[in-house]
DNA sequence: GACTTAATGGAATTTATATTCCATTAAATT
DNA sequence: AATTTAATGGAATATAAATTCCATTAAGTC
């Protein structure tokens, strides 16, 4: 009952992602957001309590998408999980730009909505558990040194190269996988 | 002649760096900047034509500091240059946070002042030349593949691990150097 | 087809900050 | 010590963008 909706929640979220990715955070005004999908400004506030709330949702959705894929893969295989970061970025270039070029703190002015805090906590726990299980499987036990190795090879190094391409408004080429593999081999497999 | 200055240009620049590093870009209002050194708002505009101009100078100073150190070292030795990134970050934690957590585009609203564009052009040329010379020395000739290897091992991978620590409000520990060395050995020396 | 509800549409308002402006103060010069 | 110049000090103004509010519109329900 009541009027049919012209605009979906998701359309605003996607429009925000595109604007930030293409023109930077400064370009994401509520007016620009509404205009991109030809919606009136008021409709933004009909669906989201504030610009901050919308951005919190954009952020947590992206992080969940990225990390859940990683978590799923690392249960099977470390190298696969590592390479999957690269593939996720290639499939989600706009989201990747936001994830790697901004921080939550800079997207929003205020504090996280409580729902988002919960989702973030659950996600971090899942990630932590999955990584710890992998370290145990790979090295026998979890030490600070092993943990550093795994995070570096599976996350830091791939993100490092990916981020450079994103900064240049490009998507990392498939050839980047070669360097990621070599690093993984040197840092994880050789150290076993 | 005329009244003696209470506030130096540099004090405003340093205050801005600290505020952004400690509390994020949103915290850097002109009022907050002035307050941090107990200056009146007007004095900011006595020294800088605009907030944007001040930020442009903050940014270019940081990039010059980082890259000039790297350029100097890579003329001598690739691994030394690579490890020097880590040391620069440890010596300049605030500057590092700005360099690695923001982009010029997001610090400023408008376009770069012309002076800054020139400084950036010169710097990029120097960096490019130094890296090309290193690649030639190391591999005999400059190919796309060699270039990717060198940038990855000397820059992307170190930045990747450094950035993770900076995101957690920490400075990377000296132990990070081990992983950076191993990556360099695997990606540059083994491939020679 | 009147009624209720949910949504759009957009003008008006509020808020947060950057910027301007000018009076005041102090150093150097004569 | 009067004068000139460069700087401070901060209130007033301008600006840009978020948010509010309410009138209008359309879809189901009785």
Q: How many CB pairs under 8 A join A and B?
A: 92
A155 near A86, Cβ under 8 Å? Answer: no
Of A102, A182, A190, nearest to B187 by CB-CB distance is: A182
Q: In chain B, what residues touch A151 (CB-CB under 8 Å)? A: 164
Protein-to-nucleotide distance from the CA of B41 to the C1' of D10, whole angstroms: 8
CB of B141 less than 8 A from some CB of A: no
pLDDT per residue of chain A (192 residues) written in tens, 0 to 9: 778 999 999 999 999 999 999 999 999 999 999 999 999 999 999 999 999 999 999 999 999 999 999 999 999 999 999 999 999 999 999 999 999 999 999 999 999 999 999 999 999 999 999 999 999 999 999 999 999 999 999 999 999 999 999 999 999 999 999 999 999 999 999 876
Q: Which residues of the protein have their beta carbon within 7 Å of strand D?
A: A 1-4, 28-31, 41-42, 44-45, 50-52; B 1-7, 38-43, 45-47
d(CA A72, CA A122): 15
For an interface test with A, which of B99, B102, B145, B152 has the most A Cβ atoms less than 10 Å from its Cβ? B152
Residues A38-53 as b/e (b if ≥16 CB within 10 A, e otherwise) read ebeeebbeebbeebbb
Q: Closest Cα partner for A52 from A22, A24, A25?
A: A25
Question: pLDDT at position B86, please?
Answer: 98
Separation of A9 CA and C2 C1' (Å): 32
| Chain A CB within 8 Å of residue B22 CB | no
Q: Which residues lie below 8 Å from residue A100, measured CB to CB, with a gap of 6+?
A: A159, A162, A163, A166
Q: Which of A24, A156, A185 lies at the smallest CB-CB distance from B161?
A: A156
What is the pTM assigned to this prediction? 0.95
Mean pLDDT of B127-131: 98
- Asked if the model's pLDDT at residue B2 lies above 90, the reply is no
Does A103 reach chain B within 8 Å, measured CB to CB? yes
Query: Closest Cα partner for A180 from A74, A37, A84?
Result: A84
Mind listing the pLDDT tens digit for each residue in B35-67?
A: 999 999 999 999 999 999 999 999 999 999 999
Nearby residues of B98 by Cβ (< 8 Å), 6 or more positions away: B17, B20, B21, B58, B59, B62, B107
Per residue in A54-108, pLDDT (tens digit) is 999 999 999 999 999 999 999 999 999 999 999 999 999 999 999 999 999 999 9
Helices B93-101 and B51-74 cross at an angle (nearest 10°) of: 100
pLDDT at B3: 86
Q: Which residues of A83-118 are buried (b: 16+ CB within 10 A; e: fewer)?
A: bbbbebbeebebbbbbbbbbebebbbeeebbeebee
HSE, side-chain direction, 13 A CA sphere, residue B1: 0
**Contact flag A156-B160 (C-beta cutoff 8 Å):** yes
């Amino acid at each position: 009952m009541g009027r049919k909706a012209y605009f979906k929640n998701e359309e605003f979220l996607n429009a925000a992602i595109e604007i930030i990715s293409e023109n930077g955070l400064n370009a994401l005004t509520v007016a620009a957001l509404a205009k991109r999908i030809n919606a009136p400004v008021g409709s933004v506030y009909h669906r989201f309590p504030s610009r901050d709330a919308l951005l919190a949702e954009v952020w947590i959705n992206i992080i969940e998408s990225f990390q859940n894929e990683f978590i799923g893969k690392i249960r099977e295989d470390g190298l696969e999980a590592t390479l999957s970061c690269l593939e996720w970025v290639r499939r989600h270039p706009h989201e990747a730009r936001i994830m790697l070029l901004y921080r939550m703190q800079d997207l929003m002015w205020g504090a996280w909505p409580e729902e988002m805090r919960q989702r973030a906590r659950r996600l971090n726990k899942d990630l932590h558990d999955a990584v710890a299980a992998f370290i145990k499987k790979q090295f026998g036990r979890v030490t600070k040194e092993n943990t550093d190795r795994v995070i570096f090879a599976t996350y830091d190094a791939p993100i490092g190269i990916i981020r450079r391409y994103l900064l240049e408004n490009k998507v990392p080429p498939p050839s980047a996988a070669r360097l990621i593999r070599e690093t993984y081999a040197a840092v994880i497999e050789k150290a076993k």
